[in-house]
Structure 1
């Protein structure tokens, strides 16, 4: 299991935040970095990241019947 050393934790969380805010998903970050989804989510929250809602994208306009 991979662990983040406490002295590097804030810098790593900031790195993840930049990528997440540039459009990467939590799942893609987890796969790339070799951490569990929950670990990446926790690090993003520690970095003060506002997480996107699930599902992504904007809702489609409804068709008028």
Structure 2
């Protein structure tokens, strides 16, 4: 029997941490706390976190439909 990875509690933890990272970076950027020199790199990391969350959400959505 094949294991269903989409009901995996580890995946849910990863999703929550990706959202948390993205929100934290967004708030730090808006509050202007980060030094100007590292802001672009941190913004790129937040973007990657959001894209990762989006990919997981799309895969789960497609899995639910099938």
Q: How high is the TM-score relative to the length of structure 2? A: 0.31
Q: How high is the TM-score relative to the length of structure 1? A: 0.32
Structure having the higher helix fraction is 2
Which fold has the larger relative contact order, with Cα–Cα distance below 8 Å and residues 6 or more apart in sequence? 2
